[in-house]
Homo-oligomer: A and B are copies of this chain.
Amino acid sequence: MTYCVGLKLDRGIVMAADTRTNAGLDNVATFKKLHVWEKRGDRVICMMAAGNLAVTQSVVSLLSERLKSEDPGRPTLHTVDTMFQAARLVGSAVRDVRAIDGEALAANSESFSVTFLLGGQIKGEAPRLFQIYSAGNFIEASADTPFLQIGEHKYGKPILDRVTQADMRLGQAAKLVLLSFNSTLRSNLSVGMPIDMLLYNTDSFSAHRQTRIREDDPYFADLSHMWSEKLRDAVAEIPDFEI
């Protein structure tokens, strides 16, 4: 499984993805699921993937190869004018991969199940965040729902539901995302460190605030420890239930 979260905030976008892939419990590996296409000064596009790894990697490869296409009639992630158009490119790449591999996967009873989060900003519009489905269709995050999750999303949702606010600073939002990961990692084996993260500041058109948080990261270790303590304290401070 996988866990990825994207937040669209007033000050920018936070994208985070774990790196565990597993084809059964005895076949666990680390793969990057967060991909960034940057044209500094003009656009930053970040995509995170959940689902069949062969399919998601093909989609990423198709999108990257097409950047080099010389056909001016064929839009690419480097040339589209809006994030909506970028989401359509991703959707169409998903459909292309299905056209190539779908039948063989079906014949093998394997699922063509993928989901993507696509966030970023293209000069001329505000940052936007999309979730793209296996069918190539998609939804967009709005002010009402500033975060989207894919993969193993349930364990880490309650804390996001409670605390996320569109006017958070990115560093605050990143902390919240890491708390959401912390709960997920604790309760589900199929999600694993390290965590890749991008903090994108509105109108920066630069993807330089990217990092990989490893198991031994001192901030993450402190956060996990403090969070456990504070949760236990919070529970203890609430009066016990009596019938």
Contacts and interface: CB of A to CB of B under 8 A. Distances in A.
A139 B16 CA distance: 36
Nearest to A226: B238
In the complex, the count of this chain's copies comes to: 2
A241 B158 contact: no
Interface in A185-243: 186-187, 197, 199, 209-211, 219, 222-223, 226-228, 230-235, 237-243
Interface residues of A, number: 45
Contacts of A227: 234, 238
Interface in A149-199: 154-159, 161-163, 169, 171-172, 174-176, 178-179, 183-184, 186-187, 197, 199
A34 to B, nearest CB: 14
Interface of A: 154-159, 161-163, 169, 171-172, 174-176, 178-179, 183-184, 186-187, 197, 199, 209-211, 219, 222-223, 226-228, 230-235, 237-243
